[in-house]
Amino acid sequence: MAGDTSTMFALFTTMLLLYLGLIILIVAGIWKVFVKAGQPGWAAIIPIYNIYILLKIACKPGWWLILYIIPLVNIIVAIIVTSNISKNFGKGTGFTIGLILLPFIFYPILGFGDATYKKC
């Protein structure tokens, strides 16, 4: 019985560390994307404000932030915003799909890669 507890604890700890690693990758990537777009990098770690900055980078008005509150609409808006961010960095639809499905890989690629931001 004691072995089961230690195994579960080890599994939980491993999963927690993996999760934290993925979060750090996403935040670091978004931080660099913000800096490339001429925005403050620290905004990536401020809830709600980071979405507002993403809207600015995607060339969308600030009032779209309200749309993130509406269920199902928020999913559509997030896809549109992600698509516009991808386009503003010169990337295509495939990269947009990557940003949506694997943000822990594609945001660091966008942020640390050679993509340049094209202003609105």
Cα 42 from Cα 44, distance rounded (Å): 5
What tokens appear for 8 in the block? 């579960």
What tokens appear for 32 in the block? 């660099």
pLDDT of 1 reads 59
Alpha-helix residue ranges (DSSP H) falling in 1-120: 2-36, 49-57, 73-88, 93-101, 103-112
pLDDT of 89 reads 97
Cα 71 from Cα 48, distance rounded (Å): 16
Burial category of 89 from C-beta neighbours within 10 Å (exposed 0-12, middle 13-18, buried 19 and up): buried
What tokens appear for 99 in the block? 């940003």
What tokens appear for 28 in the block? 């670091």
- Whether 65 and 48 have beta carbons less than 8 Å apart is answered as yes
User: pLDDT per position in the chain (120 positions), as tens?
Assistant: 567 888 999 999 999 999 999 999 999 999 999 999 999 999 999 999 999 999 999 999 999 999 999 999 999 999 999 999 999 999 999 999 999 999 999 999 999 999 999 988
Cα 39 from Cα 55, distance rounded (Å): 12
